[in-house]
Amino acid sequence: MKRHFLLTLLACLLGVQVFALDYSNENSSYNNNYVAEWGQLKLVGNQLCSENGQPVQLRGWSTHGKQWHGSCFDGREDFEGMKKLGANIARIAMYINEGGWVDLNWIKDCVKWTNELGMYCLVDWHILTPGNPNDGSYNGAENFFRELSQWVKQSGYKNVVYEICNEPNEDTEGDIYRPNVWKQIKEYCEKILPVIANNDPGAVVLVGTPQWDKALVFPMEDPINTYGLNVLYTFHHYTCDQQQFLGILSSAAAFVPVFVSEWGLTEDQGGADGQVCEDGGDNLMKICNGENLGNQKISWCNWSWSPDGRSSSALNSCGNYSEGNLRQSGKYILKQLRKGDNFLSSSSSPYQNSPQVIKETEDSYIALEKYDEDGQNKAFFEYDDKGWLFDINGTCNAGGEARKDECVDLGTTGKEEPFYYNLGYVVAGEWVKYTVNVEKEGIYEFETYTNNHIDNNVFGICVDGESAIVDENGNDTYKALKLRTSGNGDANDGYGEWGWTTPYSQHKDGKFYIRFKKAGIQTLGISFMSSCAGLGSLKFKALNPTNNISVKSDVEVRVWPNPVENGNFSISLSEDAKVSIVSCQGVCVFDKNIEKGENSINASFPAGVYMLSVKTENSSVVKKLIVK
């Protein structure tokens, strides 16, 4: 007993000593072992979370290419330097072409080093030119991810995040919406995701989006098969010349999980002109810290951890990672990292304190000028907002008389209240919120008031920060729809007559509905995923009990015997699901995709109390499992 006490005392003293030696910088996060604390990350809804379900935000740097600046990231001490500055993740940009450095052993070292340091490691298959991930020069992808994921799972590393393709960009259409690029990405996912899912089923995987990782509308409109993996979609941002895309991130955060796996404080050449744009950085940081339509805490990696000649680089030289050796970009990031968890909320209040009512027995309409109060990032995202300093249209409040002091794009329809105002001149990525009071929960038929200028514009509708669009089976697979033209002739203003239309999906036939999961006060968000010439109102039809759609129910789970006595138990599921079993200490002892029906499971893990969770695309059920 006494000996034990002395040893502990000695250990504590030594610990303090080590602490004092290593702790030369003020950043208190240096001693955090994020991986031990957070474990294997996973998604809960759209939010990246720790193993036990707490929201997390990964923040750090992306390396540059090893062929150019390798000596900043080919040793444990390099990542230790990054960690000391406050990063909890390092992205390893493994260029494939341009003299790239495809080297699994180096990647394994990076995983080991970062793991020892308690950091997450984002392994980036850095395609860039050519921009098609299926290009022959990238044929090694499948093998690379097979070997890596096998090794990761076998070695028990929990700190790996896979980024399967940086910035897909085969730009053949010259159209901002590049459907062919999304087709290429989907084809590539079909090759890579099953390989990772097979070896490392609970993995967190980042999937690229068209237009150099910007067009988040595609996973909303035309979802991929995720093979049960925790898939997030990447958004890249350069603050000097890409502010016109920020709304896309802010909007999409209500619909899909997103990850800013690369961003720089410069123009998109990485700062060839030497400029650094911190204001744009502040705008991005607000969105990542939670001021977005989905209240999502968004993880990020800054470009770049290198002493590259361009102004996006963080360092003056490799090897010295003291604050004094940081360049302007590095100093800005250090300031962000030092803020610690800096989560913001984007809650808003109802216009003039009176929520619009969605009635049970009568049709209801949303008057679009009655959007919420509290301004930019909270009640709306508007590119022409005065506080935003990025006037995309060169006009404020184009055409609108109501709420002139704000710049939300109100136009007039010339029709009666509540359709007098419309949202016109809307730019892709903008959104508005409405506090509504819903009389009864349920799935409502809805229509949109449109004119002839609406031309397949893409939009999303969310309730309390989650997609609310469901199909006739109650599934929320499709998170963006298209608006139809009213088709009603030409009016004097050339916009045509307004009329009620039903939105549609390009990828699935049938009707779509809006689901309110509960009655009472909630916020309805409308996000415009493409530029739009006028949405007049939304109509929610009276709930019709005879054709009301039933909400898809939770997966049914039966477990027996419970307590488990002889090391085996049975589970029956109403649909295919992912089953994981976690001990009270947070150790995951079982994690597999299980088919529907009856299954027998070997539970030869230590006696104790476990949480058994069953996850399908639409539901998640948790049960207590006792092993004797």
Stretch that binds ligand IDC, among 154-162, 267-275, 524-532, 577-585 (CB under 6 A): 267-275
Residue 349 interacts with ligand IDC (CB under 6 A)?
no
CB of 562 to ligand IDC, least distance (A): 50
x/- track of binding to ligand IDC for residues 300-319 (CB under 6 A): ---x----x-x---------
Say whether residue 270 binds ligand IDC (CB under 6 A): yes
User: Burial, 2: exposed, middle or buried (Cβ in 10 Å; 0-12, 13-18, 19+)?
Assistant: exposed
CB of 311 to ligand IDC, least distance (A): 10
Nearest residue (CB) to ligand IDC, 237 versus 297: 237
Q: Give 329 or 527: the residue with its C-beta nearer to ligand IDC.
A: 329
Output the smallest distance, CB 440 to ligand IDC, in A: 48
Structure tokens at 83: 């960690």
Residue 503 binds ligand IDC, judged by CB under 6 A:
no
Binding flag, residue 208, ligand IDC (CB under 6 A): no
Site membership for ligand IDC, residue 163 (CB under 6 A): no
* Residue 54, amino acid: Q
- Our CB check for ligand IDC shows the closer of 98 and 493 to be 98
| Residue pair 320/25 in contact by the 8 Å Cβ criterion | no
Interface region with ligand IDC, contact rule CB under 6 A, candidates 147-155, 265-273, 325-333, 563-571: 265-273
The verdict on 167 binding ligand IDC (CB under 6 A) reads: yes
What's the rounded Cα separation, in Å, for the pair 134 and 611?
41
Q: In what order do the strands lie in the sheet with 568-573?
A: 557-560, 568-573, 597-602
Preceding peptide of 563 cis, ω within 30° = yes
Rule CB under 6 A: is residue 98 a binding residue for ligand IDC?
A: yes
Strand partners, 344: none
Nearer to ligand IDC, 69 or 153 (CB): 69
Q: In the sheet where 608-615 sits, what is the strand order?
A: 588-594, 577-583, 608-615, 620-627
Interface pick for ligand IDC out of 32, 150, 269, 477 (rule CB under 6 A): 269
Closer Cβ to ligand IDC, 96 or 438, answer by number: 96
Question: In the bound complex, what is the minimum distance in angstroms from residue 303's beta carbon to ligand IDC?
Answer: 6
CB of 70 to ligand IDC, least distance (A): 13
The answer to whether 498 contacts ligand IDC (rule: CB under 6 A) is no
Map residue 245 onto helix, strand or coil: helix
> Judged by CB under 6 A, which stretch of 42-50, 201-209, 261-269, 536-544 contacts ligand IDC?
261-269
Q: Applying CB under 6 A, does 235 fall inside the site for ligand IDC?
A: no
Residue 269 Cβ, how far from ligand IDC at the closest point, in Å? 5
DSSP-H helix ranges across 57-178: 66-69, 76-84, 104-116, 141-155
Least distance to ligand IDC, CB of residue 94, Å: 11
Q: Count residues binding ligand IDC (CB under 6 A).
A: 14
262 near ligand IDC (CB under 6 A): yes
Taking CB under 6 A as the criterion, which residues in 34-63 touch ligand IDC? none
Binding mask 406-435 for ligand IDC (x = CB under 6 A): ------------------------------
Give the max Cα distance, the chain: 94
- Nearest-CB residue for ligand IDC: 270
Q: Looking only at residues 102 through 141 of this chain, which bind ligand IDC when binding is defined by CB under 6 A?
A: 128
Pair 236, 261: CB distance under 8 Å: yes
Q: Quick one: CA dihedral 558, 564, 565, 570, positive or negative?
A: positive
The binding track of 529-548 with respect to ligand IDC, each residue x by CB under 6 A or -, is --------------------
Give whichever of 74 and 308 is closer to ligand IDC, judged by the CB atom. 308
Given the rule CB under 6 A, which of 138-146, 266-274, 392-400, 405-413 is the region that contacts ligand IDC?
Answer: 266-274
Reduced to 3 states (helix: H, G, I; strand: E, B; else coil), residue 624 is strand
* Torsion sign across C-alpha atoms 191, 206, 621, 445: negative
CB of 67 to ligand IDC, least distance (A): 10
Q: Would you say 308 or 384 has its CB closer to ligand IDC?
A: 308
What is the Cα–Cα distance from 215 to 234, expressed in whole angstroms? 9
Q: How far is the CB of 271 from ligand IDC (least distance, A)?
A: 8
Measured from the CB atom, is 201 or 270 closer to ligand IDC?
Answer: 270
Closest-CA residue to 303 (of 63, 134, 477, 54): 63
Q: Which is nearer to ligand IDC, 238 or 388 (CB)?
A: 238
Closest CA to 216 of 260, 249, 169, 261: 249
Given the complex with ligand IDC, which of 98 and 417 has the nearer CB atom? Answer: 98
Residues 570-607 as b or e (16 or more Cβ within 10 Å = b): ebebbbebbbbbbbeeeebebbeebeeeeeebebebee
Rounded distance between C-alpha atoms, residue 74 and residue 78, angstroms: 7
182-212 CB burial, b ≥16 within 10 A, e <16: bebbbebbeebbebbbebbbbbbbbbbbbbb
| 236 interacts with ligand IDC by CB under 6 A | yes
Residues catalogued as catalytic:
167, 262
* Least Cβ distance, residue 98 to ligand IDC (angstroms): 5
**How far are the Cα atoms of 70, 92, 438 from residue 265, in angstroms, in the given order?**
22, 19, 43
Residue 91 binds ligand IDC, judged by CB under 6 A? no
Token output for 390 = 């990025």
Least CB distance to ligand IDC at residue 212 (A): 6
Q: Please, which residue, 69 or 286, has the CB nearer to ligand IDC?
A: 69
CA angle 478, 482, 488 (to 5 degrees): 150
* DSSP character at residue 553: P
Question: Pick from 57, 166, 397, 452: which binds ligand IDC (CB under 6 A)?
Answer: 166
In terms of C-beta density within 10 A (0-12 exposed, 13-18 middle, 19 or more buried), how is residue 489 classed? Answer: exposed
Residues 107, 90 contacting (CB under 8 angstroms): no
Check residue 268 for interaction with ligand IDC (CB under 6 A).
yes
CA atoms of 67 and 65, how far apart (whole Å): 5
> Residue 289, exposed/middle/buried by CB under 10 A (0-12, 13-18, 19+)?
buried
* 125, 212, 255, 444: which one binds ligand IDC (CB under 6 A): 212
Considering the complex, state which of residue 265 and residue 514 has its C-beta at the smaller distance from ligand IDC: 265
Smallest gap from residue 167 Cβ to ligand IDC (A) = 5
Residue with tokens 């990761």: 152
Collapsing DSSP to helix, strand or coil, 168 comes out as coil
Query: Which positions lie near ligand IDC, rule CB under 6 A?
Result: 98, 128, 166-167, 212, 236, 238, 262, 268-270, 303, 308, 310
